Structure 1
Amino acid sequence: MRRRTTVGAVLAALVTTLVTGIMTIGASPADAAVGGSGPYPADYETSTGLPNHTIYRPQNLPSERLPLLVWGNGGCAASGTAQINFLREISSHGFLAIANGAPNGSGSTTSQMLTQSIDWAFAENSRSGSKYFGRIDTSRVAVAGFSCGGLEAYAVSADPRVTTTMIFSSGLLNDADDYQLRRLTKPIAYFIGGPSDIAYPNAMDDWGKLPAGLPAFMGNLNVGHGGTYDQVNGGEFARVAVLYLKWRLKGDTAAGAQFAGPDCGLCRSGQWQVQQKNLTLDGGTSSPSPSPSGSPSPSPSGSPSTGPGCTATYTVQDQWNGGFVAGVVVTAGSSAINGWRVTLTLPAGATIASAWNAVNTGTSGTVAFANVSYNGRIAAGQTAGFGFQGTGTGSGAVASCSAT
């Protein structure tokens, strides 16, 4: 039984207050350093194709593809600049971040707006003529939110395109919503403001009900419900969010060492109270294989192939006792392709539980994956990606690709 009645009422009241723009308790907002502290100075823009949203992007798009973060604001407030310092800081480290709500907008948001952000980003990545054409890593998608926005993130976490969830100072309000926990299959991280955070009991209750085997991180920083979003460059919450996203969406195991293991960086920080479930830094094995058309394999770093057809590079992104998450990057050769098919031979005993950004035929042994409607067309030398969660051990799978 959850202790939610009183907490839920208080949190609901606080959500109402947050809508008015009071995002930090007992502190006045501070201006962010222009562009954030990352290597890609960032700001925000809007798009007529995605009304009522705010898009944070590096001012000059880097050569590396941008993983995607979609964000629900505190109070479910429809102001996409409500956590501007925090989101601009994340984007400056090479991420595309899309917040619900127009810049300085008013009103309230819904979880469907997070789905709209993902839809738009995937479409732009595939649209010839878009500045984002082939520039978004659609195999790496995080959904996240603060307070009421965290509830929106929970609602979207089951989207097959989402590869990790981040909950900031939030937790389910009612036992009737616990089904959202039971359907979680991708890694999740909680960043909570400590016992003085009104969402603390809700978050800890959720933590105790996560599915067995789910990779999960819980960090408590004693700053209360308001977090550090309005501090310069988003403060400590932004710093750890960037590290988590580098780990989960860019495969940076040095960043992952801040979260995983008994001697993790945040464990030793003296600031954070840390709990872990099923976290390992295993992963990073890749097995590129040429397509039947004879194009050469990419280098171990995953560089695009130079021949016709396509190549597939397989990577274990996370491995835990009894399960794993893997990703596959499909790279077109010297000519554009209009569709692709990846054949993956899994290790003995491994099975596929769920897949995103591709349709699979079979779940064990040799499995075929075909593109979906939004990621089949790939320009010469460009990439698309998909991922899946499996049971067993993911290391050692062999992938091959053919253009269709």
Structure 2
Amino acid sequence: MQEIRAYIITIGDEILYGQIVDTNAQWMSALLDESGIKTIRRLTIGDDKSEILSAFDEAEKDSDLVLITGGLGPTPDDLTKPCLAEYFNDKLEMREEALNDLSELFKRLDRELSPLNEKQAELPTRAKYLKNDMGTAPGIWMESKKNTVFVSMPGVPYEMKFLMKERVLPEVKKRFMPTSIVHRRINTVGIGESWLHEIIGEKEKALPSHIRLAYLPSPGIVKLRFTGKGEDKPKLIEEVNKTVDEFKPLIEKYIYGYDDEKLEEAIGRVLKFKGKTIATAESCTGGKLAHKITSVPGSSEYFLGSVVSYSNDVKINVLGVKKETIEKEGAVSEDTVKQMAVGARKLLKTDIAISTSGIAGPGGGSKEKPVGTIWLGYADDNQVVAKKINLGKDRAMNIEYTTIAALNLLKKHIM
């Protein structure tokens, strides 16, 4: 087995101009990773002949596999096929097999095959034809003198995905023998990347050379990805799982799940297991907390409802927050979020309620309560608690982080 290095090239002015988001490269990288192939670079370029040829030259120097998407249409601005032909000192010819498949497709669609559409069946003479069952532009497989494989596919995502899964990846696995790659993740919440490193840093140094640890931070959450590489996949899986088990006791109180499990999924799993129901009372998060919880399939078993009490009147008249509390301590205060949680629990008849109130920004802050001042509340049969957090001045980030912090508060009390 050997390490296979892949280079992904996305072609299209519309992507450079921000008119279309390139989801293809991310999807391909993930699929390659699952197959033991390392993506070393992803490059986006416009519909420019010199840039395309330069990208081909650069990719061939560094990689074993070059995956290209875009530029395979029949119009003059679609340059990928002519550039491939020029780069390989080849020429385009009408490929009978491709033309027959194209004719059959247009017949099924009850459409006329125009001369412009027929150009889709033109391929470099030395290219291997990859039939595209999902569209009109075929895939193209070519190999350079340096044994680098070039594969060109349409930019339409569902066409590219079909070709990758059904045509390209099986051929790549025949052509190469990729090294096995195994990933496991420990998902943590409520602790920063640097603090995690302080706890597990010494153990990380003792990892064997074929197993590596990466820290993957996002707002409020840090995922620890353990990656093992080797030839014996069953043995590698066993080694990586054992490594994860050795790290778990060091950071157990911060762990909410593993691999692809989201925080809201882990919480839902526990709520279902314990037979508990929950409601939310939200001010600064504006319903995002409820949205996170209900994004999990089956959440209707434990989530009963939410009150988005953005105004003080709703806090007072719907949730039962005391008017004097608002007047004396303000909407962003410990007592307010406690009363919001108690009120939501009573109103919606749930076992648990979570509340949020804060100054998300960019305006509305004061010297006593600057932008980013957030209070979280929690109530169940036995306790009513509140927690204050201090964030920054970015509104979107504050809302996102508050949502994660509220879920973490819930996690601490139910897990």
Specify the structure having the higher radius of gyration (Cα). Answer: 2
Higher relative contact order (CA 8 A, sep 6+): 1
Give TM-score scaled by structure 1 length: 0.28
Larger helix percent: 2
Calculate the TM-score normalised by the size of structure 2: 0.28
